[in-house]
C-alpha cells in the first residue's frame, strides 16, 4: 500500500512543477502527459494542460495535474491524498467507508490508467483518490 500527494492547478501546473523542482532540488519529470495525449479525448482548450506528472520528493510520489478548464478550481481543494492498493476488495472497502456521509466524485471503475479507480470526499472534507496498484 502507498500513500501519495496529488496537487491540482488551474493551467499553471508546469510552472508550479518547475518552482517546486527548483525549491526542493529535484529533477523535473521526464514524462508529462497532457490532456491532448489522453486516449479518452479532451476539449481543444485543454490539450496543452497537464493531465498527469509525477515527481519523487521526500521519498514519496508527488503527483501533479491541471484541472480541466470546465471544472471549478478551488484553492484548498487542490490537494488530495492518493492511495495505491493491490487488493481490489480492500479498495472497495476503504472507498465504501470513506464515502459514508461523504461525497463520491468518481465512482470506482476501470479507467485508461487503472483497472480500478475512484475519488471521494470524506465527511471531514478530505479528498481521496484510490487506485489499484500493480
What's the pLDDT at 134? 77
All structural domains of the chain, each given as residue ranges with its CATH number in brackets, are 2-132 (3.10.180.10)
Query: Whole-prediction pTM value?
Result: 0.76
User: What is the tens place of the pLDDT at every residue in 73-125?
Assistant: 888 778 888 888 899 999 999 999 999 999 999 999 999 999 999 999 988 78
Region 15-21: mean pLDDT is 94
Q: In the numeric block, which cell numbers belong to residue 47?
A: 490539450
What's the pLDDT at 66? 96
78-117: buried (b, 16+ CB within 10 Å) or exposed (e) per residue? bebebbbbeeeeebeebbeebbeebeeeeebeeeeebebb
Whether pLDDT at 60 is above 80: yes
What's the pLDDT at 63? 94
Between 120 and 126, the more confident residue is 120
What's the pLDDT at 6? 93
To the nearest whole number, what is the mean pLDDT of the chain?
Answer: 92
What are the angstrom distances between the C-alpha of 78 and each of 8, 38, 40, 116? 5, 21, 23, 22
Amino acid at each position: 500500500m502507498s500513500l501519495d500527494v496529488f496537487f491540482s492547478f488551474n493551467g499553471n501546473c508546469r510552472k508550479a512543477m518547475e518552482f517546486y523542482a527548483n525549491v526542493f532540488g529535484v529533477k523535473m519529470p521526464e514524462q508529462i502527459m497532457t490532456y491532448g495525449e489522453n486516449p479518452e479525448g479532451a476539449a481543444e482548450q485543454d490539450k496543452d494542460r497537464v493531465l498527469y506528472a509525477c515527481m519523487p520528493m521526500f521519498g514519496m510520489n508527488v503527483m501533479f495535474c491541471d484541472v480541466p478548464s470546465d471544472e471549478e478550481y478551488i484553492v484548498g481543494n487542490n490537494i488530495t491524498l492518493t492511495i495505491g492498493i493491490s487488493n481490489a476488495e480492500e479498495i472497495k472497502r476503504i472507498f465504501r467507508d470513506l464515502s459514508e456521509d461523504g461525497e463520491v466524485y468518481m465512482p470506482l471503475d476501470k479507467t485508461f490508467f487503472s483497472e480500478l479507480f475512484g475519488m471521494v470526499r470524506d465527511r471531514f472534507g478530505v479528498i481521496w483518490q484510490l487506485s489499484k496498484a500493480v
